[in-house]
Amino acid sequence: MREPAGVPHAIDDVTPEWLDAALRRGGALGDGTVAEISVEPIGVGVGVMALLHRIAVRYDGAAGPDSVVVKLASLHEPVRQVARGYRFYEREVGVYNHLAPMLSMGSPTCWYATHDPDSDDFAVVMEDLSGDRVCDQVTGCPPTDAAVVVDALAALHAQWFGNEELLTFPFIERPSDPPYPQYHAQATKADWPVFAERFGDHVPDAMCRIGERWYEIGPALMEETANHPWTLSHGDVRLDNIFFGSSGMKIVDWQISYRNGGAFDLAYFMCQSLTVDDRRTHESDLLHRYHDGLLAGGVTGYDYDELFEDYRRSVLFSFCYPLSGGANADLVNDRVTELVHAMIDRSVGAILDLDALDLVPA
């Protein structure tokens, strides 16, 4: 079966012929061909690391999906530099091609995923989940939906908790593996002045002092994770990536997945996708719910107190996301600015509420 010709650099490179080959490669087409496509951008101001497009498809004699989502590399050079440094695009393609079918956590059907290591262009052709329910990242996650997400995280993390099969997938690495801490130091040292100019008025003095030193603090925290229990971490569990449908919850955007502590996913979700008030009200119940889910999934030797300390440390590390997002996001509209403001306020609020500054490495 022929491969699609090349890896698209921009959406204009996705032609009916290219999409036909991609869908056929994934087993989504029978007889006939893709005759015509109609493209619309989606997720503007949502996906800051890549570009998303919904493509409506008309066929000549082929019974395929009425629409698909195509994900491509960002055209914004600062974002491309971050993605290449962390191997985001390569990792996401690896997950969709090799790991997604065996995960307990639902993800969209992926018909084709490819990556060019020279250009770092990539393309993912996947199921359109627009019929599913989504929650607004800026508004925040309702507590009932948060419980669904926490249950799904506990099941995923229990599935891969210390599971050596995960070691057979070379694209799933530890945050502490070179060159990630070194790149993190380089990137965040450059990011902080830009972040401070754009959003410094949203950050209290105590966090500004942390931000100025983040190029030291972030890598030290990444090294610490190597000494804690690991599992498969999605890495970007936030509302913009979560869809609630009749078949259950599905999550997209696996480009930040690592072999890491499960507390990181939990902490990042709690301090980014819940409002400050909802997190404060429901935090303890959701943490206990997650720990109970780990135990139900067969995890042993990991008590609640250990989880709580890992959670606090992960809340502190999660500050790197508003820092990087605020410095590198293409501020194309008010939605992006609102999203970054929410990221900052929720992250800083959780760090201060949990006294997580006490965990800053000396």
* Domains defined along the chain, listed by start: 11-127 (3.30.200.20), 143-359 (3.90.1200.10)
Q: Indicate the pTM of the whole model.
A: 0.92
Tracing tokens 């890598």 back to the chain, one arrives at: 219
> What does the alpha-carbon distance between residue 120 and residue 138 come to, in Å, rounded to a whole number?
30
Cβ contact 38:55 at 8 Å: yes
DSSP 239: G
Q: Show the DSSP H helices in the chain as ranges.
A: 16-25, 77-86, 88-94, 143-160, 180-199, 205-212, 214-224, 262-273, 276-296, 304-317, 320-328, 334-353
Find, among 256, 254, 242, 48, the residue nearest to 146 by Cα: 242
Q: Is 74 helix (H, G, I), strand (E, B) or coil?
A: coil
The helix/strand/coil state of 249 is strand
Q: What is the pLDDT of residues 289-336, one digit of tens each?
A: 999 999 999 999 999 999 999 999 999 999 999 998 899 887 878 888
Q: What is the DSSP-derived secondary structure letter of residue 228?
A: S
pLDDT of the residue at 2: 66
Give residue for tokens 């002045």: 193
Residue 45: is its pLDDT beyond 70? no
Measure the CA–CA gap between 137 and 134, rounded to whole angstroms. 9
For 74-220, list the strands marked E by DSSP: 110-115, 122-127
Question: CA–CA separation, 64 vs 191, rounded Å?
Answer: 44
> How would residue 1 be classed by pLDDT, with cut points 50, 70 and 90?
low
pLDDT computed for residue 44 by the predictor:
65
Q: Rounded to whole angstroms, how far apart are CA atoms 318 and 322? A: 8
Q: Residue 266 above 60 pLDDT?
A: yes
**CA distance linking residue 73 with residue 123, whole number of Å:** 7
Residue 117: both structure tokens together: 């290591």
Q: For residue 356, what pLDDT is reported? A: 98
pLDDT tens per residue across span 179-219: 999 999 999 999 999 999 999 998 999 999 999 999 999 99
Q: What is the DSSP string of 22-66?
A: HHHHTT---SSEEEEEEEEEE-TTT-SSEEEEEEEEEEES----S
CA–CA dist 264, 271 (Å, integer): 10
What distance separates the 2 farthest-apart alpha carbons in the chain? 66
Which among 117, 118, 34, 31 has a CA at the least distance from the CA of 70? 34
Give the integer Cα–Cα distance in Å for 69 and 159: 28
Cα–Cα distance, 179 to 204 (Å, whole number)? 31
